[in-house]
Amino acid sequence: MAKKNVTVVGSGNWGMAIATIIAGNTARHPEFADDLTVWMFDEEVQHKGVKRKLSEVFNETKENVKYLPGITLPPHVRAEPDIKKAVGSADILIWVLPHQFVARTVQNMGPVKQGAVSVSLIKGGLELEGGKLGLCSDLLRKLLGHEVAVLMGANVANEVAAGEFCEATLGIQSEDHKDMLVKLFDCQTFRVTAVNDIPGVELCGALKNVVALGAGFCDGLDYGGNTKAALIRIGLQEMKTFIRYFYPDVNDSTFLESCGVADLITTCFGGRNRKCAEAFIRGKGAKSWDVIEKELLGGQKLQGTLTAQEIWPVMQKHNLIDSLPLFSTIYRIAFEDKAPWSIVKLPQGMPSSAFHKDDGFFDEKK
């Protein structure tokens, strides 16, 4: 059997971090060709006082000096700035780029190899189509014409690249490619569990970034751990309410996988969305989200604000505003100048459990 060629489409912080994991597995497992290709957008960087193309610097040093400085990738990882060359022979495409660039990237890359399969690590890109909530994986499936799985989890990129232990969840429908794709990602420091629940896995990955904005607002207001813990619990509850509205068959167990509660926790304590939301509050709204993104993220993109803007008209159209008070408050603080301390003044009468109408902990009001 021919060895499978793998290409990572995207070379930002998370793209390079996951490339370290994949490169170890392509070298370890005979099913895969050793060489790993990374499509690297050809931007210029200052390197040792000289302006050079990022891909050239990477291919010489095996370090992405802009998006993952200090980490040297294995010698069999190669950057390719030409998207058509990068994907032309790929059997497996790993998508790790901001969702707003997906359609344009697919348009520029030309036809893909017959029988190829994709895995999306993209968080966001939600849109309504004929009353149905479309996912970024749906868009990729439509544009590429082949199977698309998703991988989400509690994965801060720098920690993954440094080899610190973590987990992730692979959402996949077909059994045909499941074992192969688990092998591509799973290793001693990056444990992968496969579940047949693509919408649940993908939407958890997108919506937790909205909750993380709320966590950042709490940090900007100097609220303590109790408040943030309550916000995380309510956020998980609203994630489930939102997801179940559009995908009623989503598994309860998915919310307890790495893509669910674990990713929510790590993002609310460490990720870029929390960091920028804290800066937004400490700056008293004087700086726009675009300015904060530019100042704090070094070229990376802020996903929580985009996702909040995507789901707001969806919530309005489907009359979900009242049943999702945290999501609604986060949006209004971020974009409608609502007072940030309103984050702790949510309506009473919210359900006490994310999983049961009455979990028996609270007495029902007579």
Task: Say how far apart CA 347 and CA 345 lie, in whole Å.
Answer: 7
* Residue-by-residue DSSP string for 51-104: EEEHHHHHHHHS--TTTSTT-PPPTTEEEE--HHHHHTT-SEEEE-S-GGGHHH
- Catalytic site positions: 208
- Crossing angle of the two packed helices 272-282 and 289-297, in degrees rounded to 10: 120
Distance from the first to the final alpha carbon of the chain: 68
Please list the residues that pair with 52 across neighbouring strands.
Answer: 45
Q: Do the Cβ atoms of 263 and 155 come closer than 8 Å? A: yes
Helix then strand then coil, % of the chain, to nearest 5: 50, 15, 35
* Residue-by-residue DSSP string for 270-313: HSHHHHHHHHHHHTTT-S-HHHHHHHHHTT----HHHHHHHHHH
Q: Do the Cβ atoms of 91 and 113 come closer than 8 Å? A: yes
What element of type H or E holds 169? strand 166-171
Q: Do the Cβ atoms of 278 and 224 come closer than 8 Å? A: no
